[in-house]
Amino acid sequence: MSTEITPCGRVMLVEDDADIRAMVGMLLELEGYQVVSTSNGGDALKILRDGERPCVILLDLMMPV
């Protein structure tokens, strides 16, 4: 019996480093995820307030203010 996990839903990626954000976003998209990315927490909160409902939020905790 083979178990295959199919990616579902959206991922929000919050990362201030543009290169890391692009690389992680690309890898997630290659795995079938829809990615919403932003470079800071303020923009992430605005996106969430506007109705975006990702299944997972990947958040860089060491971002500058």
Task: Answer yes or no: are the C-beta atoms of 7 and 31 closer than 8 Å.
Answer: yes
pLDDT at 65 over 80: no
Rama region for 55: left / alpha / beta (φ>0; ψ in -120 to 50; rest):
alpha
On whether residue 20 sits in a domain, the answer given is yes
On whether residue 3 sits in a domain, the answer given is no
Number of domain units in the chain: 1
On whether residue 4 sits in a domain, the answer given is no
What CATH number is associated with residue 33?
3.40.50.2300
pTM (predicted TM-score): 0.82
Taking the C-alpha atoms of residue 21 and residue 11, their distance in angstroms, rounded to an integer, is: 12
Residue 49: per-residue pLDDT = 98
Taking the C-alpha atoms of residue 6 and residue 16, their distance in angstroms, rounded to an integer, is: 29
pLDDT in tens, 5-61: 655 689 999 999 999 999 999 999 999 999 999 999 999 999 999 999 999 999 998
On whether residue 23 sits in a domain, the answer given is yes
More confident residue, 65 or 38: 38
